[in-house]
Structure 1
Amino acid sequence: MYNITFKFEQQGLEEVTVKNAPEGDSILEVALKHNIRLHHNCGGVCACSTCHIYIDSGEELVEEITDREEDFIDRARNPRLNSRLSCQCILQESGGQVLVTIPDQTLIHGE
């Protein structure tokens, strides 16, 4: 099981920690199950960049980045070295602590 802490760049949003998130779920699925707003225009199939996040710690606990994901991250707003698409961050079997920052989503149109 995982503990995932979500921090937000958007002003006025408090940090949220989800305890006991199950292996096999994506970070996007964990967020949505716990009413954490995270855009996902393509429905979580790695066809856009709206679920872009920063993994501040625990990157080794999710599946490795693919070339396809990297291509979409290049299209994201303000990509960084620790950028990932939350729909592609599947929690591995080991369990642990993951710290995620969600970029300001007020600049994303649609969904």
Structure 2
Amino acid sequence: MPTIRVLPHPDICPQGADFEAKAGATLCTGLLKAGVAIEHACDMVGACATCHVHVREGGAALTAPDDEENDQLDNAWGLDAQSRLACCVKVPAEDLVIELPRHTRNHAREN
């Protein structure tokens, strides 16, 4: 199984994380199962951009974002060329390195 490395984030994942994820599963599901409390206000249907991540390594192994994902990414804070929605990314057979953005467009975080 591929390994997902999450770079340290001061609030969500201060120590960073490394975990294995099932290829073909969504990245958001893998993050949540590994205890990384990534936001997903639309319940992982690609309609909100709160699960925005930066794919720092391994992005070449991912399928390109579709039009709906690109439309939602326009609403994400801190967008860059490596930005993706974790609910739309299918874990590839290769390892990934993920960075969580410092901010989100979600105004109210649920615990």
- The alignment's TM-score, normalised by the length of structure 2, stands at 0.87
**What's the CA shift for 1:109?**
2.2
**What's the CA shift for 1:63?**
2.6
The alignment status of 1:37 with 2:24, answered yes or no, reads no
State the Cα deviation string for residues 38-90 of structure 1 (Å, max 9, x = none). Answer: 00000110101100000001112223211111111111011001100000000
- The alignment's TM-score, normalised by the length of structure 1, stands at 0.87
Q: Give the structure 2 partner of residue 88 of structure 1.
A: 88
Higher strand fraction (1 or 2): 1
State the Cα deviation string for residues 4-59 of structure 1 (Å, max 9, x = none). Answer: 0011443571110113x111111101000111010000011010110000000111
Q: Give the structure 2 partner of residue 18 of structure 1.
A: 19
Decide which moves more: 8-17 or 69-78. Answer: 8-17
Higher helix fraction (1 or 2): 1
The alignment status of 1:70 with 2:70, answered yes or no, reads yes
Runs of 4 or more off by more than 6 Å in structure 1? none
Q: Give the structure 2 partner of residue 97 of structure 1.
A: 95
Q: What percentage of aligned pairs have identical amino acids?
A: 26
Letter in 2 for 1:88: C
Cα distance in 2 for partners of 1:107, 1:75 equals 8
Contact 2:27 2:90 in 1 (8 A): yes
Unaligned regions of 5+ residues in structure 2, if any?
Answer: none
| Aligned-pair Cα RMSD in Å | 1.9
Higher RCO (CA 8 Å, separation ≥ 6 residues): 1
